[in-house]
Amino acid sequence: MEISKSEYEYSNPKTFALPVDSEHKATEFRLFSVAAPHMRAFHLSWVSFFACFVSTFAAPPLLPIIRDNLNLTATDIGNAGIAAVSGAVFARIAMGTACDLFGPRLASAALTLITAPAVYCTAIASSPISFLLVRFFTGFSLATFVSTQFWMSSLFSGKVVGTANGVAGGWGNLGGGATQLIMPLVFDLIHKNIGSTKFTAWRIAFFIPALFQTLSAYGIFFLGQDLPDGNYSELHKSGDKHKDDFSKVVYHAITNYRGWILALTYGYCFGVELTIDNIIAQYFYDRFNVNLHTAGIIAASFGLANIFSRPGGGMLSDLTAKKFGMRGRLWTLWLVQTLGGIFCIFLGKVGSLGLSVAIMLIFSVFVQAACGLTFGVVPFVSRRSLGIVSGMTGGGGNVGAVLTQVIFFRGSQYTTEKGLELMGVMMICCTLVIMLIHFPQWGGMFCGPSSKGVTEEDYYISEWTSAEREKGFHKASMKFSENSRSERGKKVDSAPTPADRTPNTYV
Identify the H or E element spanning 122: helix 104-122
Residue 113 near other proteins by CB under 8 A? yes
Amino acid identity of residue 463, one-letter, is E
Residue 12 φ/ψ region, left for φ over 0, alpha for ψ in the -120 to 50 degree band, beta for the rest: beta
List the one residue out of 479, 476, 506, 492 whose CA is nearest residue 100: 476
Which residues, numbered 248-267, are part of the site for other proteins (CB under 8 A)? none
C-alpha–C-alpha distance, residues 438 and 444, integer Å: 4
Q: Is 106 in the site for other proteins (CB under 8 A)?
A: yes
Peptide bond into 449 cis (omega under 30): no
Site for other proteins in 272-291 (CB under 8 A): 286, 289
Taking the complex as a whole, the smallest distance from the CB of residue 238 to other proteins amounts, in Å, to 6
- Single out the segment in contact with other proteins by CB under 8 A; choices: 39-47, 69-77, 165-173, 424-432: 69-77
Q: Please, what is the minimum distance in Å from the beta carbon of residue 242 to other proteins?
A: 15
Distances (CA, A) of 178 to 60, 120, 204, 304, 470: 12, 19, 18, 7, 51
Q: Determine the Cα–Cα distance for residues 486 and 502; give it in Å rounded to an integer.
A: 21
Task: Give the three-state DSSP class for 342.
Answer: helix
The reply to whether 5 sits near other proteins by the rule CB under 8 A is yes
Interactions with other proteins, residue window 193-212 (CB under 8 A)? 197-200, 202-204, 207, 210-211
Question: Considering the rule CB under 8 A, would residue 74 count as an interface residue with other proteins?
Answer: yes
Contact by Cβ (8 Å): 330, 271: no
Contact flag: residue 233 with other proteins (CB under 8 A): yes
Give the count of residues interacting with other proteins (CB under 8 A): 45
Helices (H), 378-415: 386-408
Instruction: Select the residue interacting with other proteins from 14, 192, 237, 501 (CB under 8 A).
Output: 237
| Of 16, 17, 21, 117, the one binding other proteins by CB under 8 A | 117
213-232 positions binding other proteins, by CB under 8 A: 214, 217-218, 221, 230-231
Query: CA-to-CA distance for 17 and 228, rounded, in angstroms?
Result: 11
Choices 106-114, 331-339, 343-351, 468-476; region in contact with other proteins by CB under 8 A = 106-114
Burial of 193 (0-12, 13-18, 19+ CB in 10 A): exposed
| Distance of closest approach, residue 244 Cβ to other proteins, in angstroms | 17
Per CB under 8 A, residues contacting other proteins are 5, 64-65, 67-69, 71, 73-75, 106, 109-110, 113-114, 116-117, 120-121, 123-124, 126, 197-200, 202-204, 207, 210-211, 214, 217-218, 221, 230-231, 233-234, 236-238, 286, 289
